Amino acid sequence: MNFCPRCGTALTLRMDGGRHRPMCPAEGCGYTYYGDASIGTGAVVMRGDEILLIERRAPNRVWWQIPGGFVEVDEPIHTAIEREVMEETGIEARALDVVGFRHAAGVPDRPIANIYVVFRLEAIGGAPRPDNEESFSVEFVHRDQIAQREGLSSMSLWAIETALGAPHQAGMSIEEPREGLQRPGQTIFRLPPL
Ligand SMILES: [Zn+2]
């Protein structure tokens, strides 16, 4: 990045937090470039003893995974996961709690850092249908049949086993809005109270 995205001034390298970082020298701006990151989210959607799986296709590969996708920059993450489930599967689902997350630091062939947050959701309506862009089959699969599913991604299997192995609402869920706690756009996730 060479120019400030806020004011257009050419960035200069300055020492900040132990590293040289591109910073905006314009008076009163102070923009600092900390690198690129993306946020993804995945959904373990449960309907009784069944879990929602989708078939994905790439030119040389077909595989199964849980639904999910990237979180838009101006979108709350729990809204994003419910949206992705609807888009990819036709199923209306409600986010319950966070099962876990994967952090990926940037590496040479994938320089963008990423966090992938896995939610547990309950299906509340709709009928399974693929979008034929990102999903090519959509199925509710009984929990006893999940491990045998050919081509299921290892991350999705991890997410499902973790979700099935944890008590109801044991994960983090959304903190109630409280005066002065959440700024606009912020959602706080918290452990369940004792
Ligand atoms: Zn600037």
Average pLDDT over residues 76-104: 98
pLDDT in tens, 42-75: 999 999 999 999 999 999 999 999 999 999 999 9
Q: What are phi and psi of 161, to 5 degrees?
A: -65, -35
Question: Among 142, 63, 46, 155, which residue's Cα sits nearest to residue 102?
Answer: 155
Written as one string, the DSSP assignment of 138-152 is: EEEEEGGGTTT-TTB
Ligand 1 centre from 92 Cα, in Å?
42
Ligand 1 centre from 20 Cα, in Å?
17
Residue 194: what pLDDT? Answer: 86
Contacts of 66 (CB under 8 A, 6+ apart): 42, 43, 44, 45, 51, 52, 53, 54, 118, 156, 159, 160
* Whether 94 contacts 17, CB under 8 Å: no
pLDDT in tens, 141-187: 999 999 999 999 999 999 999 999 999 989 999 999 999 999 999 99
Question: Among 52, 42, 142, which residue's Cα sits nearest to residue 98?
Answer: 42
Q: What is the pTM of this model?
A: 0.92
d(CA 58, CA 68): 16
- Do strands 113-126 and 37-47 pair parallel, antiparallel, or not at all (unpaired)? parallel
Q: What is the Rg, in whole angstroms, of the alpha carbon atoms belonging to the chain?
A: 20
Ligand 1 centre from 77 Cα, in Å?
28
d(CA 108, CA 93): 37
Strand-pairing partners, residue 173, are 190
Residue 83: what pLDDT? Answer: 98
Task: Give residue 155's Cα distance to chain centre.
Answer: 13
Please report, rounded to a whole number, the percentage of residues in the chain having pLDDT higher than 90: 95
Ligand 1 centre from 25 Cα, in Å?
7
Domain boundaries, the chain: 1-35, 37-166
Whether 1 shows a pLDDT value over 90: the answer reads no
Tokens matching residue 153:
């991604």
Identify the CATH homologous superfamily for domain 37-166: Nucleoside Triphosphate Pyrophosphohydrolase (3.90.79.10)
pLDDT in tens, 2-16: 999 999 999 999 999
Residue 112: what pLDDT? Answer: 95
